[in-house]
Structure 1
Amino acid sequence: MTNLTCDVAIIGAGTAGLAAERSARRNGAKTLLIDTGFGGTTCASVGCMPSKLLIAAGNAAHAVKQAATFGVEASGKLDGAAVMARVRKERDAFVAGVENSIAGLPDDVKVDARAKFAGATILSLDDGRKVHAKSVVIATGSSPDVPNMFDAVRDRVLTNETIFDLPTLPGSIGVIGAGPLGLELAQALARLEVETMVFDMGDTIAALKDPHVAEALQTILARELPILLGVELTAEPDGDCVMVSWTGSATGKKRFDYLLVATGRPPQIEGLGLETTSLDLDEHGMPDYDRDTMQCGTAPIFFAGDADHDRPVLHEASAEGTIAGRNAASYPEILPGKRMVPFSIMFTHPNVAVIGKVAQDGDTDSVIGAASYDDQGRAKVEACNAGLVRFYADRRDGRLTGATMAGPAVEHSAHLIAWAIQSGWTATEVLDLPFYHPTFEEGMKPALRSICAEVHAPTPRDRDDGFTPGT
């Protein structure tokens, strides 16, 4: 077999890998993109898009159930098979779009194989060939973690990579993990009349670092489904089902048709041969890397996307791939890339967003402004008046540094705050912009006003509009 040579070899054809390949080739490098099967990105196939399709179905069912609140008589009949059929149909269309994009790559770029390092710039392929590169980008993504405690019931265990292929909705499901993925799918399933419970060994919901927003969110979500934190679990077969027992903050047992294990997605680096590269590896087998250049030490090796276990969201994967590809192409000349403010969204209802740096109570360098949506005007109109937002700002001048938000339509308003933080705006400058009435965005104003008052900053255009209640 003929060995291959290139300037930049990219391992993994997900969002980060595709961005890295484009970036490297745009910067004049001869590239090879190595992947097994080229089956589409995590987002399109098993992540962002199919989960949002299931959430959309859950929201439609929930709207029917809540119609009486508005004086509208409505009834709905759930067809679980039809729900899952639409999820797969639309998911497959998203995947096909990614596959079409991959198909547009030059034929001599794509290498359908599994790669592992045989040295810092030498890759061994599972077809017997070797790749000799000047530099390498690792974009292998992540995969679900199913703890050994579920070995006895693995035939009834689902992950985000298998749940969307169920032929119909199950009757009951236990969700293991109260992180963003677990909560999104749990609420969607509960709204689709699947008997659902969420369990987590930890004491934090949605991985939130702000305890006030976490407490508010748990109270809201618990109106729709049980969420048990701080529990130890055992699972054992029970006929065609699973019997789950728990102790700790609560004690009990329950039989489920399936378990959805959402306990994390560690990076896919096992078997990658990083020990052959002379990189210093930590106890998890991960090398240290620079988050501004994506370079591992001074080596011609770069990380991008979920493989680096840093910011596992699509826009960051694309940005990291672009930075890694450019620097891999220009190695040994390395330039830092401009990183975006950290920003993540959870698509439960209410939506949750975490932006920038989270400040804690008692942080003497920060001021914190809070606003509740319990009495917010537009939220009351829409019968979704529940939530809490907390903004963090520099005590010296009121410049916004972060936010934790749980409230109606936060997936939209959080973008405005993320842009403000990245632009270096103060709370005063945000309040000096137009807020239309009545909108959900108005609900952020009390938090911004509070910051201005504490840092003694002016609010020149934030005049009293005579309608303080409900804004």
Structure 2
Amino acid sequence: MNKQSDSSADNTAATVTRKVSVAIIGAGTAGQNAFRQASKIYDDTVIINEGFWTTTCIAVGCMPSKLLIAAAERAHDANHSAEFGIHATTQIDGKQVMQRVRDERSHFASYIEKQVNSWPEHKKIAGHAHINEQGLIEVNDEVIEAAQIIVATGSSPSIPDGWADKLGDTMLTSDTIFEMPDLPKSLAVIGAGSIGLELAQAFKRLGVTVTLFNREKRVAGLADDDINDKAIACLNNELTMHLGSTIKDVGTRSAEDETAFIDYEDSAGESRQWQGEYVLVATGRRNNIKQLGVENLGVELDDKNRPKNLSKKTGQIGDLNVYIVGDANANIPLLHVASDEGYSAGSMVCKNTDDAYIRPPAIPFSIVFCSPQIVNVGKSLPEIQQDPELEYVIGSVSFDNQGRSRVMGVNCGLLHIYGCKKTDRVLGASMVGPDAEYIGHILATAITNDLSVKEMLDTPFYHPTILEGLRTALRDVQDKMEIPYQFHDTQEDNF
């Protein structure tokens, strides 16, 4: 995309070395999907990438974290089965645990690498891309003029200013922690979002002394106070958490003694200090867009580096021939969203956009794979409460005495379903509990397909399953509607 320049700039204008129909910057989930779609029409599509040619999910996100969690669950089950009359102790080989994480990660990455290797070499450019004042892409020794540009540069860990220098080698992020050759002895985790919660609990279950810090008295960003309180109560059974604490300083004792420390105020305002081996900074991720030069394409960013005038369907910026997709747009930084956005943007740049398949924007849907799991689907409770047009009810079920959950010894949890009183539709839900990932998928399908609560209740619920808890919550929603649904089956799910 060539931007008009005045005559004074023409004298120093960069010389174009290649003209293409579509240039994609970034080869993660969104970028790869965009490249595949655009390449179906344009043979001169190029993809530019700096760093690994796999995805954030495979390299440093979803897959290595779930591999670590899988090991942690094995250890936890072995060490906590006394109530079933099974007594055992485990011997955890930290080096083997971490090696399996990397080996299996490489296995998953090999499929992506095979696909990337099948792409023509002249369409792949490895290097750092920058968009100059003319709107041209500079990378290595090339200057590329693209008719359409798709930005899919992903995200990186957000680290408070100065912490990297103060903590030195004792600082870890989700981008570096899986490279550790062995399990640490002690670990502070700063941030109780999805990354912080999952890794804190996993390392704790693998025998690491873990302390979790969070500025708010919340976990996983839960907006429903009752669900948040229940999640904290469930997690407190095994995690040491300092919620509502304020970090004042971080560092190491000295150049000779690399013990890490954290000076903080606890929730009561008392000054305290933590000391240990490593500090995992899990304070979120930021999109990799600030230094790219997208402003030279006419893109405006807000104070959080999020692009303005963004189409949530396609990632297009206003009426520009510019698309920003995946984590780069900081909309919903989840893999399935990045995949859909990349696919849609890659379809939109094709000549016949009337026939392009544009995936609709996904409803908000997040899962935290701690134990018990945490799920949010659809509208949050505050969003519903702020809408004066919505009359809502909350259907609830506790999993503390839910039949199958108690059988399995995983009976700690709470589900809230937010139902629309006028339409008999599910607006959203929030849950902490066993099998939350599956219950979340069912609710997401119901919202996406506009199913009524009655239609959901008309489907079978097999006994005894944890999913029967979903039926109880749906019944509670229906009972609070203006016209309650008459049930024929009165069997409760807790026996």
Q: TM-score, normalised by structure 1?
A: 0.95
Moved more, 22-31 or 409-418: 22-31
Query: Aligned partners of 1:328, 1:97: CA distance in 2, in Å?
Result: 27
Q: What is residue 429 of structure 1 aligned with on the other side?
A: 455
- The yes-or-no answer on 1:338 pairing with 2:364 is no
The alignment status of 1:417 with 2:438, answered yes or no, reads no
1:245 is matched with which residue?
263
Contact 1:186/1:198 (CA < 8 Å) preserved in 2? yes
Percent of aligned pairs with the same amino acid? 37
Looking at structure 2, the residues matched to 306 and 9 of structure 1 have their Cα atoms a distance apart, in angstroms, of 18
Aligned counterpart, 1:71: 85
User: Offset of 1:30 from its aligned partner?
Assistant: 3.0
- Match in the other structure for 1:273: 293
Deviation at 1:29, TM superposition (A): 5.8
Q: Give distance in 1, aligned partners of 2:451 and 2:467.
A: 17
Partner of 2:434: 408
Residue number among 129, 154, 164 corresponding to 1:141 in the alignment: 154
Q: Give the drift of 1:211.
A: 1.3
| Structure 1 position 146, deviation (Å) | 1.2
Secondary structure of 1:143's partner?
Answer: strand
User: CA separation of 1:245/1:459 partners in 2, compared to 1, >3 Å: closer, same or farther?
Assistant: same
Q: 1:335 to 1:60 in 2, by over 3 A?
A: closer
Give how far 1:34 is off: 0.4
Query: Which among 371, 375, 382 is matched to residue 353 of structure 1?
Result: 375
Q: Which residue of structure 2 lines up, in the alignment, with residue 438 of structure 1?
A: 464
CA distance in 1, matches of 2:128, 2:417: 45
For 1:469 and 1:280, how far apart are their aligned partners in 2?
53
CA contact (8 A) 2:287 2:305 kept: no
The SS at the match of 1:108 is: helix
Distance 1:331 1:11 in 2: 23
Between the aligned partners of 2:134 and 2:343, the Cα distance in structure 1 is 21
**CA apart distance, 1:121:** 4.8
Q: Confirm or deny: 8 A CA contact 1:366 1:392 kept in the other structure.
A: yes
Assess if the C-alpha contact under 8 Å between 2:463 and 2:493 holds in 1. no
Matched residue of 2:80: which SS? helix
Q: Which residue of 2 aligns with 1:232?
A: 246
CA offsets, 1:40-90, max 9 Å, x none?
Answer: 111111000000010011101100111211111222111111111111111
Query: Which segment is superposed worse, 111-120 or 448-457?
Result: 111-120
Cα distance in 2 between the residues matched to 1:337 and 1:228: 41
Aligned to 2:208: 194
Which residue does the alignment assign to 1:300? 321
1:100 aligns with 2:126: no
Distance 1:462 1:145 in 2: 53
Q: Deviations over 1:338-365 (max 9, x none)?
A: 1222211110011111111112486752
Deviation at 1:28, TM superposition (A): 4.2
User: Contact conserved, 2:347 with 2:358, CA < 8 A, in 1?
Assistant: no
Aligned to 1:83: 97
3-state SS in 2 of match to 1:93: helix
Distance in 2, matches of 1:97 and 1:338, equals 27
40-49 or 222-231: which moved more? 222-231
Pairing 1:464–2:486 present? no
Q: Which residue of 1 aligns with 2:7?
A: none
Aligned twin of 1:382: 408
Q: In structure 1, what residue type is equivalent to 2:121?
A: D
Residues 462, 261 of structure 1: alpha-carbon distance in 2 compared, 3 angstrom cutoff:
farther
Instruction: Please list the CA deviations of residues 421-461 of structure 1 after superposition, one character each: whole Å capped at 9, or x if unmatched.
Output: 11111211111100000001001122111111111345455
Q: How many positions carry a matched residue from both structures?
A: 468
Matched, 1:17 2:31: yes
The answer on whether the counterparts of 1:38 and 1:112 sit within 8 Å (CA) in structure 2 is: no
Of 89-98 and 245-254, more deviation after overlay is shown by 245-254
| Greater Cα shift, 343-352 or 283-292 | 283-292
Report if the CA contact (8 A) 1:27-1:329 is conserved: yes
Give the direction of change, closer, same or farther, for the CA distance of 1:268–1:118 in structure 2 (3 Å limit): same
Q: Please say if residues 242 and 266 of structure 2, whose CA atoms lie closer than 8 Å, have aligned partners that are also in contact.
A: no
CA distance in structure 1 between the aligned counterparts of 2:302 and 2:379, rounded to whole angstroms: 26
* C-alpha distance 443-469 of structure 1, shift in aligned 2 (>3 A): closer
Describe the SS at the equivalent of 2:217.
coil
Please give the residue correspondences for 1:30-179 in structure 2 after superposition, counting only pairs within 5 Å: 30-119=44-133, 121-125=135-139, 127-150=140-163, 151-179=165-193
Contact 1:84 1:164 in 2 (8 A): yes
Distance change in 2, residues 1:331/1:294 (3 Å): farther
* Aligned-pair CA distance for 1:93: 1.3
Give deviations 1:374-401, integer Å, cap 9, x for gaps: 0000000000100011111111022011
**Structure 1 residue 258 displacement after superposition:** 0.1
Cα deviation, residue 277, structure 1: 1.8
Give the counterpart letter for 1:140 in structure 2.
T
Give yes or no for the alignment of 1:368 onto 2:368. Answer: no
Consecutive unaligned residues of structure 1, counting only runs of 5 or more, are none
TM-aligned CA deviation for residue 37 of structure 1 = 4.1
**Are residues 116 and 372 of structure 1, via their aligned partners in 2, closer, same or farther at CA, if it must alter by over 3 Å?**
same
**Residues 193-232 of structure 1 deviation map (CA, whole Å, 9 limit, x = unaligned):** 1000111112321011111111100111111111112211
**Aligned twin of 1:263:** 283
Q: Distance in 2 between matches of 1:326 and 1:255?
A: 52
* Distance in structure 1 (CA, Å) of the matches to 2:456 and 2:226: 23
Secondary structure of the residue that 2:54 maps to in structure 1? coil
Computed over aligned residues only, the root mean square deviation of the Cα atoms, in angstroms, reads: 2.0
2:340 maps to which residue? 319
